[in-house]
Amino acid sequence: MDKVFSNEMNVLKALAILLVVSGHLEFSLLGIFPPYSFQLALFFFISGCLFKDKYLNEVFTFVERRIKSLLVPYFWYNLFYMGVTILIAKLTGKFWGMPLSFKNFFVTPFLNGHQFDLSCPLWFVTQLFMTMITFLFLFRALNSVTKNKYVHLAFFTVLGVLAIPFQKLFAVTPVMLVVIRTMFSMFFVYLGYFYTHFIKDNYNIFTPKWFGAVFVLQSILWMFNRDYDPSHGIGLSYVLVWARFDDQLFVPVITSLTGIWASLFVVKILYPYVKDIKFIQDMGRVTYHIMANHLLVMYIMTAIFLYIHGIPISERANHDIYWIYNPVQTTYLYFVVTMAATTYVGVGLKKLHKKALEILKKVVYNIKKGVRIAVRT
């Protein structure tokens, strides 16, 4: 993977996490591409773009790396947010989460991922892990049958589309929820792989004709957007975490595709201007930490606003975890402060992790050295 493309992917990751946070603040960063209509599909797409063919023959290495990069920090955060949730409960009387239990700490993360409200966006992490592992084994199996990329694309497309009616055909139990999310998300993983391997260097999909076609299509969809007029039309947004696709079949796929294209287009346009901005680079590298901590920053900001205006903190307990104080006036301040705080916290945590590993390696080296000396004597 060339350096420019790698850097573009990092900027795309930064844009993707900006879209997630803005979505949780209920405003659209890309205009007619509304919150919840494509952001998470974009993250799965990025994962597919970064998937390497060598992993098809190095299964153990792939699984090991995904455990280290996704699950290990996840359970550290799970422990952290258990402590934060208990502390907030003692201070305010409100327990933001499910009852504490072995199941909710170790099993629920792989079902709905909402054991603690403040870290509920991390449901995506465990789902990404399950999606990528399932994708690896399915892709290996497909490759053993045929190498035809169009057969692969057709297979994952059908799988993704079929996931949508499953919410109506079957009872959405915790296990079925995971099945639906995995089927839907694998399509976008393969789409990212397909884009990187067969489109990026062979076709220009960012011409004026493509621009016009995508925006005309999205504009037509927008005319029927029920998100702003519940009395009619279609819902462009969908809630993947709960497998809620409204009553649509193809619309969630279409809006995901148009949103992904728009995101790629934005990065193509902006990349020359933002590629050297350190804050953007850092943001792309610490999306995990931003995903994990942005609701906590919003919660703290809301507590400060309530204190300043003489409103008891108990008022916060009357609203859901995404509620913010006076959103008409404060939404963009929440957005800016949250992105800045979580990015810099993420950078600090990465540095701390790196330093801890260096110290651990030295300790292990010294222990081994001491053992060797002891054996010789």
> How buried is residue 221: exposed, middle or buried, by Cβ count under 10 Å (0-12/13-18/19+)?
buried
Q: How far apart are CA 283 and CA 290, in angstroms?
A: 8
Q: How far apart are CA 97 and CA 82, in angstroms?
A: 9
Instruction: Specify the amino acid at residue 361.
Output: K
Label residue 1 by pLDDT band (50, 70, 90): low
Q: Please provide the size of the chain in residues.
A: 377
Structure tokens at 244: 């809620």
Question: Residue 175: pLDDT above 90?
Answer: yes
Q: State mean pLDDT over 133-152.
A: 96
SS3 225: strand
Q: State mean pLDDT over 53-76.
A: 96
pLDDT of residue 35: 80
SS3 239: strand
Structure tokens at 328: 């008409």
Q: State mean pLDDT over 264-293.
A: 96
Q: What mean pLDDT value characterizes the chain?
A: 93
Question: Residue 105: pLDDT above 70?
Answer: yes
Q: Which residue has the higher pLDDT, 192 or 368?
A: 192
